Amino acid sequence: MIFTRLARKNGAASTLALALALATGGAVGLAAIEAPAFAQKKPKYSKAFIAAYSPLETALGAETVDPAAVKAAVPAVVGAIENASDRHAAGGAIVNAGQKLNDMGLILQGLELMLESGQVAPEQLGMVNLQTGQIAFNQKQYGKARTYLQAALDAGYTENNPEGIIAESYFAEERDAEGLAYLSGVIDARKSAGQPVDETWLQRGLAVAYRASMTEDAQKFAGWYVADYPSETSWRDAIAILLNTGGYEKPETLDLLRLGRRVGTLNDDRIYLEYVEAADYRRLPAEVVSVIDEGVEKGMLAADDPYVTDTRSEAAGRVAADRADMDTLLADARADGAGVRTVMAAGDALLSLERPAEAEEFYRKAAGMAGAEAPMALTRLGIAQFDQGKFAEAEATFNEVEGPRDAIANLWAIYAAQQTSGTAM
Is residue 248 a contact partner of residue 315, using CB atoms and an 8 Å limit? no
Residue 7 has what pLDDT? 29
Q: Is 239 helix (H, G, I), strand (E, B) or coil?
A: helix
Question: What pLDDT does residue 42 have?
Answer: 73
pLDDT lower than 70: segments of the chain: 1-41
Cα angle vertex 288, ends 285, 290, to 5°?
110
Q: What angle is formed at CA 208 by the lines to CA 206 and CA 213, rounded to 5 degrees?
A: 95
Q: What domains can be seen in the chain, in order of their start residue?
A: 11-131 (no CATH), 230-421 (1.25.40)
**How many Å separate Cα 342 from the centre of its chain?**
43
Q: How many CA atoms, within 13 angstroms, populate the side-chain half-sphere of residue 374?
A: 10
pLDDT of residue 41: 58
pLDDT of residue 330: 96
DSSP 8-class letter at 193: T
The answer to whether 223 and 230 have CB atoms below 8 angstroms apart is no
pLDDT at position 8 is 28
Neighbour count for residue 282 (Cβ, 10 Å): 10
The per-residue pLDDT for 141 is: 98
SS3 of residue 304 by DSSP: coil
Tell me the C-alpha distance between 308 and 302, whole Å. Answer: 7
Summarize pLDDT for 126-135 with one digit per residue, the tens. 999 999 999 9
Dihedral angle of Cα 239, 243, 246, 249, to the nearest 10 degrees: 130
